[in-house]
Amino acid sequence: MNKIKKCLKILGPGLVYAGAAIGVSHLVQSTRAGALYSFELVIFILIANFLKLPFLEMGTRYPNVKGKSLLNGYKELGNIYLYLFLAIEVLTMFIIMAAISIVTAGITLLLFPIEISPVVMASALMGISAVILVIGKYTILDKAVKYIVITLSIATISALTISLTNFDFSYASVAFEKFSFGSTTDLLFLMALIGWMPAPIDISAWQSLWTCERNEWKPASPQCHKEGMIDFYVGYIGTAFLAICFLGLGAVVMNPTGEAFSGSAVQFSGQLVELFSSGLGAWSKMLIGFACLATMVSTTMTCCDAFPRVLSRGIILYNGKEEKKDFYYLISIIVLVIGTFLVLALFLENMRAMVDFATIISFLVTPFIGWLNWRIFKKHIYKKTKYFKILDKVSIGSLIFFSGFVILFLFLKI
């Protein structure tokens, strides 16, 4: 028990990262990938996780080496890069929070059949999350999310294991029989999938801020760096593995039936819970429903914390008024809640379309943010060792890969 407690004590921002990642990208996109294309897109999930690794690990490595966040690194590269990053966050945060909160609301209304609209429920959940975060700050995330992620991981692996025992493997497809590279629809879905696989790339900046908060903005130390990297890789490898598990559930349970996921948040949530309970048994339906709800609540809370944290840090880097950090955070979180409500109230027509839009936006900005993180890596972190040389080469390959896909996307749309 002492070893377990010690391990849980080390784990912090890495599992907060996992709590943010294991949400829409896993529950929605990975499961849909399996339902539509069986196991054919597993290779792209692995590629996305591998190619984003150098960029995302900078969210832990940089603050533990330099003692400051990636936003400071962007500013050191030039104010224009910091302002562009902040502009991307402002332009995407409302639609991303709308996509996350409406999925959370759908699961909530499935478990608690309250007679209110999904928009009202999503807004209420956002408001509650904001109040909890303002009162509890980072500590509430660090303590709560690790147990939520562990619970969902056990439930997901159990559901997939039991489902595989009854699966007819003749339905399994891995050779692109269902997915077509000549289909614009299939390619756009693939871009949406890897846009948030394992998470949107700007989560690296969020991770750096959570790491600094965990370290209380103290100077970096070798022990801090070692524990931080262990924490990161536990969260990163775990999210990659769970993405494949969710895809497997979609492939095993839904693909053979030909059933498609609904665009309605509530109906989609019902299908999702049925997906899990069909593997574990009817007895587990309520348990799985609460596990899915807990996961999406953790994603809502982590993202509800991340965007205001980024904005408040950006304001401080602009005017240098560190003493007003809490005030800037409060204002930013209020703006986020109000803006998300307006997006939901004015533009919500289809949950699935909203999720695709949010994930594609994240996909389009991947090369730019990846390039910023690579420049910081080369300037401040790079060492002439085999490991760092490999990271450098993977970073260059990743930039080429994602830039190529962005060009293809623009070509398809134009």
pLDDT at 313 over 90: yes
Q: What is the pLDDT of residue 82?
A: 94
As a whole number, mean pLDDT of residues 375-393 equals: 89
Q: What is the pLDDT of residue 114?
A: 82
In a domain, 238, yes or no: yes
User: Element (H or E) spanning 231, and its range?
Assistant: helix 222-249
* 119-128, 191-200, 211-220: range with lowest mean pLDDT: 211-220
As a whole number, mean pLDDT of residues 358-366 equals: 81
- Mean confidence (pLDDT) of the chain: 82
Q: What is the pLDDT of residue 355?
A: 67
- Residue 335's pLDDT band (cuts 50, 70, 90): very high
Structure tokens at 396: 């260059």
Residue 391 CA to residue 53 CA, distance in Å, equals: 8
Residue 249 CA to residue 114 CA, distance in Å, equals: 29
* 171-175, 229-233, 398-402, 403-407: range with lowest mean pLDDT: 171-175
pLDDT at 382 over 90: no
Rounded to the nearest 5°, which phi and psi values hold at 37? -125, 15
More confident of the two residues 104 and 176: 104
Say which CATH number the domain at 71 has.
Answer: 1.20.1740.10
In a domain, 379, yes or no: no
In a domain, 408, yes or no: no
pLDDT at 345 over 60: yes
**SS3 per residue for 16-45:** HHHHHHCCHHHHHHHHHHHHHHCCCCHHHH
Q: What is the pLDDT of residue 286?
A: 74
In a domain, 284, yes or no: yes
User: 331-337 — which CB contacts under 8 Å span 24+ positions?
Assistant: 332/307, 332/308, 333/130, 333/133, 333/134, 333/304, 333/305, 333/308, 334/130, 335/308, 335/311, 336/93, 336/94, 336/97, 336/126, 336/130, 336/304, 336/307, 336/308, 337/123, 337/126, 337/127, 337/130, 337/304
Rounded to the nearest 5°, which phi and psi values hold at 4? -65, -45
Q: What is the pLDDT of residue 5?
A: 53
Residue labelled with tokens 């980072």: 138
Contacts of 127 (CB under 8 A, 6+ apart): 337
Contacts of 92 (CB under 8 A, 6+ apart): 202, 358, 361, 362, 365
Handedness of CA 370, 373, 379, 385 (dihedral sign): negative
Q: What is the pLDDT of residue 307?
A: 94
pLDDT at 19 over 60: yes
pLDDT at 217 over 50: no
pLDDT at 8 over 70: no
CB 343 within 8 A of CB 242: no
More confident of the two residues 124 and 292: 124
In a domain, 381, yes or no: no
pLDDT at 265 over 70: no
CB 24 within 8 A of CB 106: no
Q: Please tell me the total count of domains within the chain.
A: 1
pLDDT, tens digit, 9 for 90 and up, residues 93-140: 888 888 888 888 888 888 887 888 888 898 899 998 898 888 876 666
pLDDT at 324 over 50: yes
pLDDT, tens digit, 9 for 90 and up, residues 70-101: 999 999 999 999 999 999 899 888 888 888 88
In a domain, 328, yes or no: yes
Q: What is the pLDDT of residue 142?
A: 66
Q: What percent of the chain has pLDDT over 70?
A: 85
In a domain, 413, yes or no: no
Range of the domain at 50: 2-365
Residue 80 CA to residue 134 CA, distance in Å, equals: 30
User: 129-133 — which CB contacts under 8 Å span 24+ positions?
Assistant: 129/297, 129/300, 129/301, 129/304, 130/304, 130/333, 130/334, 130/336, 130/337, 132/301, 133/301, 133/304, 133/305, 133/333
Q: What is the pLDDT of residue 176?
A: 78
In a domain, 15, yes or no: yes
Helices first, then strands: H and E counts in the chain? 15, 0
| Strand segments (E) across 52-207 | none
